[in-house]
Amino acid sequence: MAIKPPILKQGDTIGIVSLGSPLEKNTINTGIQTLNDLGFNVVLGNYVYTYNGFLTGTDEERATDLMDMFSNDQVDMILPTRGGIGVKGILPYLDYSIIEDNPKIISGYSDITVLLNTLTQFSNLITFHSLLLLNFTYNTAAYNYDQFFVATSTVISPRQLQNPPNIPQISRVPGNVTGPIVGGNLTSFIGTLGTPFEIDTTGKIVFIEETNEPINTVYRYLNSLKLAGKFEDCIGIVMGECTGCANSYGESYEDLINEFLVPIGKPLMTNVTTAHGFYKATIPIGATVNLDTENNRLTILESAVSV
């Protein structure tokens, strides 16, 4: 059974880290102020504001910042500033036994995907495919905050994962399967194939979303997953949005789903609002979910945090 981190409460301390690409100082400060306004304390890693080309600090420095947050008894949750690129560079420098012994909520998406799934695989920790620091602003949709705080600050279960009104989730292949959910940003976890941190989909429901990639590139990445056996090993597929993904050779994202994923024959749900889209569902990576595409329901069967 996966380890559930302690529940997030008002007045708790959130540790801010930059684990991939740098983020503008003003955006970081806005996020910190928003967290303070929501009633949380904030502590900063040493490299939060650092610019080192397209990264914030070296791989070892960024890994040290993350490990310091897991080791700090005063920190209740860890929140990366953004994803970008480079997060997988920190993975060899993490102490997964220390993380397992000090479970904490960690949230994010985009390139943080590789960290979320690695912590689930190597530290047996439920992680949260959800908001980054850059999303804590005055104009973030209420749906996004509701999703985040229901998942991290309550033990409500089971809980049906629903899109905002008038945005339907679409079941494409009928079936009913139950298992842990893994995945996230397609580009990010494709980059782990052939490494010790390759995503494990065996007996799991795999969740995929993407942004700003042409459809022929999305096809290339999906085909890589297929050739690596990830669709053969999984029991079901949940597709999020492909925001800003341009058609290629007259083919759209919907065409690709129908022509590539539907024939795989696994229970398939699409159009789940997540991550790079305006609306962001919170998906607890490693938690047990039920994918019922006969009744068009995706249900998180257990609380993702502990009291």
The residues assigned a catalytic role are: 110, 209, 276
H helix or E strand, kind and range, residue 300:
strand 297-300
Q: Which has the closest alpha carbon to 206: 143, 283, 151, 130?
A: 283
Are the CB atoms for 269 and 202 separated by under 8 Å? no
- CB half-sphere exposure, 220, CA atoms < 13 A: 8
* Number of other residues whose CB lies within 10 A of the CB of residue 123: 22
Q: According to DSSP H, which parts of 94-176 are helical?
A: 96-101, 113-123, 142-153
Distance, first Cα to last Cα, the chain: 16
Angle formed at CA 229 by CA 226 and CA 233, multiple of 5 degrees:
115
DSSP summary character for residue 184: E
Q: Is 295 helix (H, G, I), strand (E, B) or coil?
A: coil
Q: Are 264 and 230 in contact (CB under 8 A)?
A: no
What dihedral angle (degrees, nearest 10) is formed by the CA atoms of 118, 21, 184, 251?
-140
